[in-house]
Amino acid sequence: MLTMNDVLRARRVVAAHLPPTPSWSYPLLDEAAGRRLVVKHENAQPTGAFKVRGALNLLATLCDEVVTYSTGNHARAIAYAAREYGRKATIVMPAGAAELKIRAVEALGANVVLHGANMAGAEAHAQTLPGRLVSPGDEPALVAGVATAYLELFERHPDLDTVVVPVGSGTGAAAACLVAAAVAPGCRVIGVQSAAAPAAHDSWRAGQCVRRDNRTRVDGLATGRGFDGPQAVLREHLADFVLVADDDIDRARRLLALRACTQAEGAGAAGLAAVLARPDLMGSAVGVVVTGANATELELAR
């Protein structure tokens, strides 16, 4: 099990490569939400998403060529960290992955293999390739690296009573839970996932990892199964878990753009979508993590 010592060690690793990301409030966004919101801008990372923190922490401990699978942000994070450490990386992406996301991974020097109709197909193929297989979810070092974002958030805003975290594999929510339990035990961590891909939500409700249909158009939430490592942490610490519609996520993306000058991909706006859909679950000072900005052209058009 991870501890805060793991997170503090990860902070030293991550700080050698990345500065802290900003977190602040926007009055017009507060007005729309009916409470004070603190927006944590992980969309300001060099890869456009929070996952680079975990990738840098994990690859600092590996010497082998790495192989992983992803629809986009995890792929870009591993490619970025591999370049930083001079490692080779092979990323398996579903055959229908967005062209711009493929190009972004290749531009960082990773080898992209397109295989499968979805994440399950990409994962199955990745398991057949040579190299150290890196799971997007079941890697403790990934969670410890991601947790550094929440350490920054609570150090800057110790008065938060709720933090809302988008859930795909669950590393972000698990990281938030670990840090909140240690430094802000009065703060409730709430997960949010697309209702069109509820595997992590249903796994948490069931108390065991389950598989579910994955029909969401939100890439960062497009997982069809629960991951054991993050789910173990969520079962112990997560206060609640919300499902929102993809259309609600698009509305939240538009609100972030108009009222907070912030570009967010679907997963990055899911936290705000949950605040707007379930205000009864939220406190008066809520942290919302914009986990990524890597919207496709189609998302931007919507």
Task: Label the pairing between strands 111-114 and 132-134.
Answer: unpaired
d(Cα 257, Cα 104) in Å, to the nearest integer? 23
pLDDT, residue 35, reads 98
Cβ count within 10 A of residue 247: 11
Q: Which of 148, 138, 140, 189 is nearest to 166 (CA)?
A: 189
Residue 274 Rama label (left phi>0; alpha psi -120 to 50; beta): alpha
Beta bridge partners of 191: 165, 241
pLDDT, tens only, 89-140: 999 999 988 898 999 999 999 999 999 998 889 999 999 999 999 998 889 9
Task: Tell me the average confidence (pLDDT) per consecutive run of 10 residues in the chain, 302 residues long.
Answer: 93 98 98 98 97 97 93 93 97 92 96 92 96 92 96 98 96 96 97 97 97 92 91 96 97 97 96 98 98 89 85
Q: Which of 144, 173, 49 is nearest to 105 (CA)?
A: 49
- DSSP H helical segments within the chain, as ranges? 4-15, 27-33, 51-59, 73-85, 99-107, 119-126, 140-156, 171-183, 199-206, 228-237, 246-260, 266-277, 297-301
pLDDT, residue 72, reads 85
All domains of the chain, ordered by start, with CATH? Answer: 4-50+140-301 (3.40.50.1100), 51-134 (3.40.50.1100)
Specify the DSSP element, H or E, that contains 113: strand 111-114
143 by DSSP, 3-state: which? Answer: helix
pLDDT, residue 118, reads 86
CB contact at 8 A, 122 and 94: yes
Nearest 5°: phi and psi at 126?
-60, -35
d(Cα 70, Cα 154) in Å, to the nearest integer? 29
